[in-house]
Amino acid sequence: AQSVSQHNHHVILSEAASLELGCNYSYGGTVNLFWYVQYPGQHLQLLLKYFSGDPLVKGIKGFEAEFIKSKFSFNLRKPSVQWSDTAEYFCAVKPIGSEKLVFGKGTKLTVNP
C-alpha cells in the first residue's frame, strides 16, 4: 500500500531560521506530489505541487520543494521563516490514474517571534 512519511512531528524555529521538512513516499510508479498547509482555524491550502519537469518547484509564500526520484523524497524548504508560517504542513502523494490522495501525518511548525 502507498504510504507517506513525514519525519518531523513538531518543529520549533525562531523567525529568520531556515526550514526543511522531510517527506518520503513508498510507491514505485509515477506520482504527483503536493505540499498543503493548514493555518490555525483555516482550511487546507496548496503550497506547491510537482507533476513533471524541473524537480525544484517553487510555491507560494517563498516555499520550494525538491523532488528526488531516487530517494522517493519531496522535501519542503524555506530560507527564512516568519511567525505567520506557524501552521500544520501536510505532504501528499497521488499515483497517476488513482483517485486517492495519500497524506502524510503532518508536521506542526511553530515559529517564535
Which residues make beta-bridge pairs with 51?
Answer: none
Interface with another protein, residue 86, by CB under 8 A: no
Contacts of 4 (CB under 8 A, 6+ apart): 23, 24, 25, 26, 91, 92, 93, 102, 103, 104
**For another protein, which residue of 47, 73, 76, 106 counts as binding (CB under 8 A)?**
106
**For another protein, which residue of 1, 28, 43, 70 counts as binding (CB under 8 A)?**
43
Which residues make beta-bridge pairs with 76?
Answer: 21, 65
Give the interface size with another protein as a residue count (CB under 8 A): 25
Q: Which is nearer to another protein, 17 or 103 (CB)?
A: 103
Beta strands in the chain (DSSP E): 3-6, 10-14, 19-21, 23-26, 31-38, 45-50, 56-58, 64-68, 73-78, 87-95, 102-103, 107-112
Interface with another protein, residue 101, by CB under 8 A: yes
Interface with another protein, residue 25, by CB under 8 A: no
**For another protein, which residue of 17, 27, 49, 72 counts as binding (CB under 8 A)?**
49
Q: Which is nearer to another protein, 58 or 80 (CB)?
A: 58
3-state secondary structure of 69: helix
The residues of the shown chain that bind another protein, judged by CB under 8 A, are: 32, 34, 36, 42-46, 49, 51-52, 88, 90, 94, 96-101, 103-106, 108
